[in-house]
Amino acid sequence: MPLPRPFVGGNWKMNLRLASAVELAEDLHAALSSQPTEPAIDAVVFPPFPYLQGVGRALGHGPPALGAQDLSAHEDGAFTGQVSAAMLDDLDARWVIVGHSERRHGLAEPQSVIRAKLIRGLEADLKVVFCVGETLAEREGGHAERTLVHQVRSGLEGLEAAWFRSIVVAYEPVWAIGTGRTAHPDDAAEAHRWIRQTLGDLYDSGLAAATRVVYGGSVTAANAAELFSRPEIDGGLVGGASLKAESFAAICRAAATRVS
């Protein structure tokens, strides 16, 4: 079976200002447009909400595509500060991140809300990057597999199989995010096998093999090629290194060469 189409996401988090966000978008658009189009990858940037429109204009039809860092679990109404799927659609944001550890752990976002957001996004025809990952205490306590299986099951169990074409699972060990401490490619690959095994148990091995599972946590231009050389790792979700056009473009190139 051919490997799934690679995905590389740039999560800009709460960084940049409008002018620097637009400039980064223009630089990325120029860099990615001049790269060979085959083999293709999905490259997506996730700017802060207030900059979605300006960045979207700078990107035109892309690449990269446009995504949002979060969405509301609700459709419309009295939800101060929240942003709905329909609003993202208005801004041509086609992707959204849910379950990121900075919300899951940092803001104590419960699993039930993460799942509701995931479903809201899928119902609105958004593509969803669903993040899972163990804490350092869970890994050191020998519970990484149990944690990932639980997060995958509670997020994805019972969803329509057809939706998995619109889901990218991001394995993001919490201890590797923003720390400069990347997971060893062997450990990342093992975690990806646990995730796929869980999808195989919930659905079937064909769905598990076709669903993209990407790695996030201190991915850089220097370590991307080695991570992406593992057949289990279909690309990356990148924070810090996505804030520079050269490093994000280099990570995209590393993902593209993986399937050639």
Show which residues are catalytic: 100, 172
| 16 φψ region: left (φ > 0), alpha (ψ -120 to 50), beta (else) | left
Residue among 99 and 217 whose Cβ is closer to ligand PGA: 217
- Assess 126 for contact with ligand PGA (CB under 6 A): no
Number of residues interacting with ligand PGA: please give it, by CB under 6 A: 13
- Look up residue 41 and give its two tokens: 């990858």
Q: Please provide the size of the chain in residues.
A: 260
- Assess 239 for contact with ligand PGA (CB under 6 A): yes
Q: Count CA atoms closer than 13 A to 228's CA, side-chain side.
A: 31
Q: Which residues of 216-235 are buried (b: 16+ CB within 10 A; e: fewer)?
A: bbbbbbebbeebbebebbbb
- Assess 219 for contact with ligand PGA (CB under 6 A): yes
CB of 2 to ligand PGA, least distance (A): 26
Residue 68 forms beta bridges with which residues? 96
Residue among 6 and 239 whose Cβ is closer to ligand PGA: 239
CB of 11 to ligand PGA, least distance (A): 5
Residue among 121 and 216 whose Cβ is closer to ligand PGA: 216
Of these, 172, 183, 199, 248, which contacts ligand PGA (CB under 6 A)? Answer: 172
54: closest CA among 4, 3, 7, 19?
Answer: 19
**Interface residues with ligand PGA (CB under 6 A)?**
11, 172, 177-178, 216-219, 237-241
